[in-house]
Amino acid sequence: MLNWYILQKPIPTMHGATSSEWDSPQLLRLCTGHCRFNSHLHRLGLHPTSNCEQCQVPETVAHFLFVCTTYHSERIKLKRTMESLNIDFILLSVLSDDQAAMHVEEFLRISGRQI
Ligand SMILES: [Zn+2]
């Protein structure tokens, strides 16, 4: 039987920080790609296509964060924040930098997109 305390304890990262910033279930889904985006739903046989209904290209995590025209204005705010923190506005950085977590979560919140 697993100890609940161990499950709740932040996991140290390579840089000595904790992963607590990334404990949000929504952020975990973004990091794993197991989201309600059509690319994932289609893979599971739960959606007829993998495409974003707005852009008609595969709806992936990267598409949502960096490309989809539906979230353009929300993305500008996230991009400016990443620039002010000297975090590269690329998938690897945005989904791994501890400073980015709360801002990615804010992007999710203001986008209104359920993932
Ligand atoms: Zn789109």
At 24 the pLDDT is 85
Q: Which of 92, 85, 115 is nearest to 24 (CA)?
A: 115
Separation of 85 CA from ligand 1 center, angstroms? 26
* Half-sphere CA count of 99, side-chain side, radius 13 A: 12
One digit per residue, pLDDT tens: the chain, 115 residues? Answer: 344 443 444 444 444 445 556 678 889 999 999 999 999 999 999 999 999 999 999 999 999 999 999 999 999 999 999 999 999 999 999 999 989 999 999 999 999 999 9
Beta bridge partners of 33: none
4, amino acid identity? W
Separation of 79 CA from ligand 1 center, angstroms? 17
Separation of 23 CA from ligand 1 center, angstroms? 26
Contact 113, 64 (CB under 8 A): yes
- Could you write out the three-class secondary structure of 5-37? HHHHCCCECCCCCECHHHCCHHHHHHHHCCCCC
